[in-house]
Amino acid sequence: MAKKRKGASAEKLSDVIVKGMQEKKATDIVVMDLRKVKNAVADFFVVCSGSSDKQLDAIADSIDEQVFKALKENPWHVEGKNNKEWMLLDYIDVVAHVFRKDRREFYALERLWGDAEITEIE
């Protein structure tokens, strides 16, 4: 059985993650609602792009800070901090994906999870 949140709702967490991304001028932010997708690994994916190693780091740090400040939660798992192509902050039922622009097209999460309800953030 998948782990479930003990803290804030997945929707609230997604909103705070978006705010963290926006703080550092992330581009192409989308929230993917996976709750109706069979066998999904999370309730939401929040995906964004950055244009440089420095910006990817700043976005990931901002997400971490915003979530901790608002909800007193730390990511359960973090990946990709070293390779700077695709960073992932896993909060169990919400996963933040921070891509370098060119790698995002390569991995194409939006196509992979095509059944998800996708909301583009302005």
pLDDT digits (tens, 9 = 90+) for 99-117: 999 899 898 988 888 899 9
Comparing C-alpha atoms, which of 55, 61, 63 is closest to residue 96?
Answer: 63
121 and 29 Cβ atoms separated by less than 8 Å: yes
The predicted model scores a pTM of 0.92
The answer on pLDDT for 1 being more than 50 is: no
Distance CA 69, CA 22 (A): 16
Domains and CATH numbers, the chain: 10-120 (3.30.460.10)
pLDDT band at 83 (very low <50, low <70, confident <90, very high): confident
Specify whether the CB–CB gap between 13 and 5 falls below 8 A.
yes
Q: Over 80: is that where the pLDDT of 97 sits? A: yes
**pLDDT confidence of 84, banded at 50, 70, 90?**
confident
Residue type, 110: E
